[in-house]
Amino acid sequence: MKTPKKWKMALLTWICIYPLINIIFITVMPVIGSWHPLLKTLLTTIILVPLMGLSIELLRKQVGDWLYK
């Protein structure tokens, strides 16, 4: 199977991560704002990584034709 170009995968990753991080900052950070930075980062990544996995697969299906050209 043909692999997508690196710049296309980087763009797709950024398109997924940017809104997810903003949503996490708006919803979770007010609650954990006083936590130690390492704990905030840990919780953020615990939430972000699974959401990213689901989001990127859905987006790959949507832009599959463009991605593999």
* Per-residue model confidence as pLDDT tens digits over 45-66: 999 999 999 999 999 999 989 9
pTM: predicted TM-score of the whole model, two decimal places: 0.80
**H helices then E strands: how many in the chain?**
4, 0
Positive or negative torsion for Cα 42, 46, 51, 52: positive
Distance CA 28, CA 56 (A): 21
12-50 pLDDT, tens per residue? 999 999 999 999 999 999 999 999 999 999 999 999 999
Which two structure tokens, joined as six digits, stand for 29?
Answer: 């950070």
Q: Tell me the pLDDT band of 10, cut-offs 50, 70 and 90.
A: very high
